[in-house]
Chain A
Amino acid sequence: MGRTLGSFEQLVLLAILRVGEGGYGVPVQEEIERVTGRDVAPGALYRALDRLEERGLVTSGTGEPTPERGGRRRRTLAVTSEGARELADSLAAVRGMADGLDARIRSLAEKA
């Protein structure tokens, strides 16, 4: 692949995996917000999803209309095997780079 995953794309892929089967926009967004403590704009999330889908890392489908959503459908999301590989690669890269640096990073951060 020409492009590596951006950090927000990593978060999105991880969130889809955490939410699991039948995941869609709202829980994915809430999961990211809950774990990172940062607000996620829906437009940014959708743009990232469009991009990931274009690259074949995510597939989406249209769910059935449900009464609890006032009769509106969902865009259901799933990570493809290609997506999982990309994610594994980029996580491995981050882990590899971070290996053995935890203490140092923490001490530097506290100093500041």
Chain B
Amino acid sequence: MNGKPDRPLPRWLVRALSWALGSDAEWALGDLEERERARRARGRSDRWRLVADIGSAVAWGLTRQIRRGWKMGMGGWLDEISLAARSLLRRPVYAAGVVITLGLGIGTVAAAFTVVDGVVLRPLAFRESERLVRLYRTDDRGATDLDLSAGQVETLSHTPAAGSGIGAFSRAGRILRPGDYAGAQPRSVGFARVTDGFLETLGVSPRLGRLFDPEELRDGAPVIILSEELWRSVFGADPSVLGSAVYLDEVPHTIVGVLPAGFGFPEDALLWRPLTPDERADDDPELVTVARLPEALSPDAFEDALKGVADAGAPDVWEGSGIRALPLRDAVLGESLPRALAVLLAAAALVLLVAFTNAAGLQLLRAMEARGDAAVRIALGASVPRVVRGLLSESLLLGGAGLTLGLAMAAGALPALRALAPGAVPRLAFVQLDLRVIAAVGAVALVGAIAGGLAPALSVARRSVAGIRRRGGVVSGALRLRTLRTLVAVQLGLTTVLVISAGLLSVSLRRLLEVPRGFDAEQLIAVPLAMSSATGSLRTFQEELLERTRRIPGVTEAAVSNGLPGLGTGMKLEMIGVSDLPVPPGESRPGYLHTVSPSFFTTVRLPVLEGQPLPSGRSEGAGAAVVNRAFARAFLGPEPWVGQRFTRSGSGGEGRQEMEVVGVSADVVAAPGEAPPPLLYVSTEAVPIYKNLLVRVDPAVPAELTIRRIHEEILALDPEQPVNVTEWMTDALGAYGARTRFHARLMTLFGALALSLAAVGVYGVAAYGASQRRAELGLRRALGARRGGVLALVLGRALGTSLLGIASGAVGAWGVSRLLQTLLFEISPFDPAIYLVGAAGLGVVALLAGLLPAVRAAQDEDGLSRLLREG
């Protein structure tokens, strides 16, 4: 052994041991050394014995220190916290006020952050989703977001350049009749028709069953994969659903799989089926195409590689077209949404700041009250840090309770939030409160709670000794009143920013909703029809159906149509030539073909502005076209439009056809603020393709009765029709301007929350100010001041503070409102009327909040004498 005889242990070991045993256990180290020395003296030194001794002593030393540390540290805190809890329970109004204030702020931020996290931050739910891109076709007229045709997808997917997979889908809608599932009602479903490789490219695996096999995809076999949502809602999550037959527009399909929840691509698809050879042959450029980037290739490089393939391999298919690759996440979210949500999150953060400021104000008032307590505790020998610790414990407790309440509120609000903008905000339906959000918000809440409690606690510490002598002294009271006023001014300033932002968005929303749809959706019902060859002659059916329907009392007019107005579900068509001038191939722009019965225009009240509606009769209807203004502007020659001729081809199944414009209708607006799509209306009497019965009902007759009679007539004609799917047109159209509504509603909610918090703040400062000046006010009253004078005095102070806050808030709003620019519709972010109304509204709220304490102070008849009695 090394070491001198009197120091049997090496120096490093001694140092380590004195740390492990604790500074006050030097004797234990001495014992170890003495034992070792004695053993050596006896010549019986035993290394293992020494190690065992040291180990046992170290174990003892460490546990002793930890236990002691716990007792002094945490144990002390636990005592403080239970003390703080008891003290808070004695002030339930104060405690509830702070907890609710914090809860509102934290809940707002938690909900907003959940939405931002779930919609924007979280990667898409696909394997290595960052390598997925969406492919667009570009044309030489500057369009960059066109979809691809089946032929184009085909040329790309069989090249080595697309090594990691390319697939596409197009949307469709049918009536689903769930076959043998008793009690399951037919419903209309939106679904995706997918090409070979689409689901594989996304890297999704089925929750149940399997994906489509190559033969099924090649032949367009009648097989479907369900979404989890549909599987649950229609099939009761039955695991034995695989192999069952269901009917899509009465065509039997077999279920082969179920995709996991949250797969959601396309988000509105309830099921998937292979694209059939016929649908591929249509070659409509309407395939939404995704690709997986080969390893270590940027979207740009990938784009170039694919361009090379297109040019070299299939120049005819790609003539006049280019390719653009955009990361799928960007394609799903779009450009404006992440920014809009960031603005909303910032607004939520402002609400939280208002809440923190409010809570800090309340805690300041509490600290004033606690000062007496603290002074006594300090006088009795409690150390200042200990007293501060007590006050901080209260803050932590309040913060913790506020956090719990806030998270509970956020969790409770999420279903409403998900339902606020169905379909308008991608991925919103899948957002949920998770640990990430809880951790982030919890950290913010903790910091806020400590910060809110720290200032009052420190001010107590600084002044508590002086406070023994001058309890409730005027000087320190005035100082705190100033702090309190500052806090209230800050609250009102932040609130002003929110209220003005909410005002701008709400006015935007109203202006957006004022944009006419182009037709009258009220009192209009849509009954989807499941038309298949089994239905018999489609021409006869429509004639009989319309005739019977019109005879029903309560029916004003009826029509059949392929698509529903305003839903853009018509067929895409290709223009071949206009007025004998051929449109160069590849220059076609999307227009939509709507097949409608001639009564359509009167039924949906879509005005025909020039010329005539579609003529009745098969031969009269053939070749007659009503176009909307957007179509006329996009494709026709100069006015007059009526009488112009053009050639079309495309999805009508009729091939190339000469058409003559007989009428020009108003535009139908699919979404407010968006350009109306070019539409071409062709008579169903000439082209018998229709999927809906549209009925305008008389509001004087009970709608249920009318609808029941319509159902009876339909079933009399064809008992197989799934009539339960009848919808009001206004419901089918869904929320008009849903995304703007989402933004405006949330901002208004935030503004309202901030406003109510700020009102509490103003009330608090006015009440406290009045109580501080009780002596002065009492003296004034005693000297003959009128009530009105006292009222004005108290109110004046509170209002002065408020106006300062509101004015600075308006300036702040001016500064930040440019961030709102992209969310606004036909209103300037600096619209003076909104600023004035917002500021005035806040002023009124501040006035009302300050009024009650002021009235109380004015009515305090014997304030002075009571004060004198109290000394």
Task: Kindly provide the distance from the CB of B2 to the nearest chain A CB, expressed in whole angstroms.
Answer: 15
- Do residues B7 and A70 form an inter-chain contact, with CB atoms below 8 A? yes
- A-chain residues with CB within 8 Å of residue B785 when the two chains form the complex: none
Given contacts A25-B28, A41-B52, A42-B53, contact A69 B60 (CB under 8 A): no
- For A42, give its contact among B6, B26, B57, B64 (CB under 8 Å): B57
- Do residues A25 and B27 form an inter-chain contact, with CB atoms below 8 A? yes
- A-chain residues with CB within 8 Å of residue B56 when the two chains form the complex: 41-44
- For A73, give its contact among B27, B32, B38 (CB under 8 Å): B27
- Do residues B30 and A70 form an inter-chain contact, with CB atoms below 8 A? yes
Task: Kindly provide the distance from the CB of A15 to the nearest chain B CB, expressed in whole angstroms.
Answer: 14
- Do residues B57 and A73 form an inter-chain contact, with CB atoms below 8 A? no
- B-chain residues with CB within 8 Å of residue A72 when the two chains form the complex: 26-27, 29-30, 33
Task: Kindly provide the distance from the CB of A72 to the nearest chain B CB, expressed in whole angstroms.
Answer: 3
- Do residues A69 and B57 form an inter-chain contact, with CB atoms below 8 A? no
Given contacts A26-B31, A26-B34, A41-B53, contact A73 B59 (CB under 8 A): no
Q: Mark B19-63, 1 if CB is under 8 A from A, else 0.
A: 000000011111111110010000000000000110111111100
Q: Does A46 contact B (CB under 8 A)?
A: yes
Q: Within residues 39 to 57 of chain A, which ones have a CB less than 8 A from any CB in chain B? A: 41-44, 46-47, 50
- B-chain residues with CB within 8 Å of residue A41 when the two chains form the complex: 52-53, 56
> What is the bound-complex CA distance between A75 and B22, given in angstroms?
14
- Do residues A24 and B32 form an inter-chain contact, with CB atoms below 8 A? no
With a 10 A CB-CB cut-off, give which of A26, A41, A43, A44 has the most chain B CB atoms.
A43
Q: Does A62 contact B (CB under 8 A)?
A: yes
> What is the bound-complex CA distance between A43 and B17, given in angstroms?
13
* B49 (CB) vs chain A CBs: closest residue: A39
Task: Kindly provide the distance from the CB of B769 to the nearest chain A CB, expressed in whole angstroms.
Answer: 55
- Do residues B57 and A46 form an inter-chain contact, with CB atoms below 8 A? yes
Task: Kindly provide the distance from the CB of A40 to the nearest chain B CB, expressed in whole angstroms.
Answer: 9
Q: Within residues 62 to 101 of chain A, which ones have a CB less than 8 A from any CB in chain B? A: 62-63, 69-70, 72-75
- Do residues B30 and A74 form an inter-chain contact, with CB atoms below 8 A? yes
- Do residues A42 and B29 form an inter-chain contact, with CB atoms below 8 A? no
- Do residues B32 and A42 form an inter-chain contact, with CB atoms below 8 A? yes
Q: Within residues 52 to 89 of chain B, which ones have a CB less than 8 A from any CB in chain A? A: 52-53, 55-61, 64
Task: Kindly provide the distance from the CB of B116 to the nearest chain A CB, expressed in whole angstroms.
Answer: 54
Given contacts A69-B33, A70-B6, contact A50 B64 (CB under 8 A): yes
- B-chain residues with CB within 8 Å of residue A44 when the two chains form the complex: 56, 60
Q: Mark B839-856, 1 if CB is under 8 A from A, else 0.
A: 000000000000000000
- A-chain residues with CB within 8 Å of residue B6 when the two chains form the complex: 70
Query: Count the A residues whose beta carbon is within 8 Å of the partner chain — how many?
Result: 19
- A-chain residues with CB within 8 Å of residue B59 when the two chains form the complex: 43
With a 10 A CB-CB cut-off, give which of B6, B38, B58, B60 has the most chain A CB atoms.
B60
Task: Kindly provide the distance from the CB of B282 to the nearest chain A CB, expressed in whole angstroms.
Answer: 85
- For B28, give its contact among A42, A63, A70 (CB under 8 Å): A42
- A-chain residues with CB within 8 Å of residue B53 when the two chains form the complex: 41-42
With a 10 A CB-CB cut-off, give which of A41, A44, A46 has the most chain B CB atoms.
A46
- A-chain residues with CB within 8 Å of residue B64 when the two chains form the complex: 46, 50
Q: Mark B361-376, 1 if CB is under 8 A from A, else 0.
A: 0000000000000000
Number of A-B contacts (CB under 8 A): 60
> What is the bound-complex CA distance between A66 and B30, given in angstroms?
10
- A-chain residues with CB within 8 Å of residue B58 when the two chains form the complex: 43
- Do residues A43 and B60 form an inter-chain contact, with CB atoms below 8 A? yes
Task: Kindly provide the distance from the CB of B20 to the nearest chain A CB, expressed in whole angstroms.
Answer: 11
- A-chain residues with CB within 8 Å of residue B52 when the two chains form the complex: 41
* A46 (CB) vs chain B CBs: closest residue: B60
* A48 (CB) vs chain B CBs: closest residue: B60
- B-chain residues with CB within 8 Å of residue A62 when the two chains form the complex: 27
- B-chain residues with CB within 8 Å of residue A69 when the two chains form the complex: 30, 33-34
With a 10 A CB-CB cut-off, give which of B26, B30, B33, B53 has the most chain A CB atoms.
B30
* A47 (CB) vs chain B CBs: closest residue: B60
- Do residues B27 and A24 form an inter-chain contact, with CB atoms below 8 A? yes
> What is the bound-complex CA distance between A51 and B35, given in angstroms?
23
- A-chain residues with CB within 8 Å of residue B55 when the two chains form the complex: 43
- B-chain residues with CB within 8 Å of residue A74 when the two chains form the complex: 27, 30-31
- A-chain residues with CB within 8 Å of residue B30 when the two chains form the complex: 69-70, 72-74
> What is the bound-complex CA distance between A12 and B758, given in angstroms?
69
* A42 (CB) vs chain B CBs: closest residue: B57
* A63 (CB) vs chain B CBs: closest residue: B27
Given contacts A42-B53, A43-B59, A43-B60, contact A26 B28 (CB under 8 A): no
- Do residues B31 and A24 form an inter-chain contact, with CB atoms below 8 A? yes
- A-chain residues with CB within 8 Å of residue B28 when the two chains form the complex: 25, 42, 46, 75
- A-chain residues with CB within 8 Å of residue B57 when the two chains form the complex: 42-43, 46
- Do residues A75 and B27 form an inter-chain contact, with CB atoms below 8 A? yes
Task: Kindly provide the distance from the CB of B36 to the nearest chain A CB, expressed in whole angstroms.
Answer: 10
> What is the bound-complex CA distance between A47 and B27, given in angstroms?
14
> What is the bound-complex CA distance between A63 and B30, given in angstroms?
11
- Do residues A73 and B33 form an inter-chain contact, with CB atoms below 8 A? no
- B-chain residues with CB within 8 Å of residue A63 when the two chains form the complex: 27
> What is the bound-complex CA distance between A44 and B32, given in angstroms?
13
> What is the bound-complex CA distance between A60 and B52, given in angstroms?
25
Task: Kindly provide the distance from the CB of B46 to the nearest chain A CB, expressed in whole angstroms.
Answer: 11
Q: Mark B235-253, 1 if CB is under 8 A from A, else 0.
A: 0000000000000000000
> What is the bound-complex CA distance between A41 and B57, given in angstroms?
8
* B63 (CB) vs chain A CBs: closest residue: A47
> What is the bound-complex CA distance between A1 and B58, given in angstroms?
31
Task: Kindly provide the distance from the CB of A79 to the nearest chain B CB, expressed in whole angstroms.
Answer: 18
> What is the bound-complex CA distance between A41 and B32, given in angstroms?
11
With a 10 A CB-CB cut-off, give which of A24, A63, A69, A74 has the most chain B CB atoms.
A69
Q: Within residues 19 to 47 of chain A, which ones have a CB less than 8 A from any CB in chain B? A: 24-26, 29, 41-44, 46-47
Task: Kindly provide the distance from the CB of B766 to the nearest chain A CB, expressed in whole angstroms.
Answer: 57
> What is the bound-complex CA distance between A50 and B67, given in angstroms?
12
Task: Kindly provide the distance from the CB of B35 to the nearest chain A CB, expressed in whole angstroms.
Answer: 6
* B27 (CB) vs chain A CBs: closest residue: A75
Task: Kindly provide the distance from the CB of B6 to the nearest chain A CB, expressed in whole angstroms.
Answer: 5
> What is the bound-complex CA distance between A8 and B43, given in angstroms?
29
- B-chain residues with CB within 8 Å of residue A47 when the two chains form the complex: 60
With a 10 A CB-CB cut-off, give which of B35, B58, B61 has the most chain A CB atoms.
B35
- A-chain residues with CB within 8 Å of residue B34 when the two chains form the complex: 26, 69
- B-chain residues with CB within 8 Å of residue A24 when the two chains form the complex: 27, 31
Task: Kindly provide the distance from the CB of A55 to the nearest chain B CB, expressed in whole angstroms.
Answer: 16
* B7 (CB) vs chain A CBs: closest residue: A70
> What is the bound-complex CA distance between A47 and B63, given in angstroms?
10
* B9 (CB) vs chain A CBs: closest residue: A70
- A-chain residues with CB within 8 Å of residue B7 when the two chains form the complex: 70
- For B26, give its contact among A26, A43, A46, A73 (CB under 8 Å): A73
- B-chain residues with CB within 8 Å of residue A75 when the two chains form the complex: 27-28, 31
- B-chain residues with CB within 8 Å of residue A29 when the two chains form the complex: 31, 35
Task: Kindly provide the distance from the CB of B688 to the nearest chain A CB, expressed in whole angstroms.
Answer: 95
- B-chain residues with CB within 8 Å of residue A46 when the two chains form the complex: 28, 57, 60, 64
Q: Within residues 117 to 156 of chain B, which ones have a CB less than 8 A from any CB in chain A? A: none
* A62 (CB) vs chain B CBs: closest residue: B27
> What is the bound-complex CA distance between A25 and B61, given in angstroms?
15
- B-chain residues with CB within 8 Å of residue A42 when the two chains form the complex: 28, 31-32, 35, 53, 56-57, 60
> What is the bound-complex CA distance between A70 and B14, given in angstroms?
12
Task: Kindly provide the distance from the CB of A53 to the nearest chain B CB, expressed in whole angstroms.
Answer: 12
> What is the bound-complex CA distance between A69 and B30, given in angstroms?
6
Task: Kindly provide the distance from the CB of A89 to the nearest chain B CB, expressed in whole angstroms.
Answer: 28
Given contacts A41-B53, A72-B26, A73-B26, contact A25 B60 (CB under 8 A): no
Q: Which B residues are within 8 Å of any A CB, using their own CB?
A: 6-7, 26-35, 38, 52-53, 55-61, 64
Q: Provide 16 A-B residue pairs closer than 8 Å at the C-beta atoms, listed in order of the A residue.
A: A25-B28, A29-B35, A41-B52, A41-B56, A42-B28, A43-B61, A44-B56, A44-B60, A46-B64, A47-B60, A62-B27, A63-B27, A70-B6, A72-B29, A74-B30, A75-B28
Known contacts A26-B31, A43-B57, then 11 further A-B pairs from the complex at CB < 8 Å, ordered by chain A residue:
A24-B27, A25-B31, A26-B34, A42-B56, A46-B60, A50-B64, A69-B33, A70-B30, A72-B26, A73-B30, A74-B30
The 3 closest A-B pairs by CB, nearest first: A72-B30, A43-B56, A43-B60
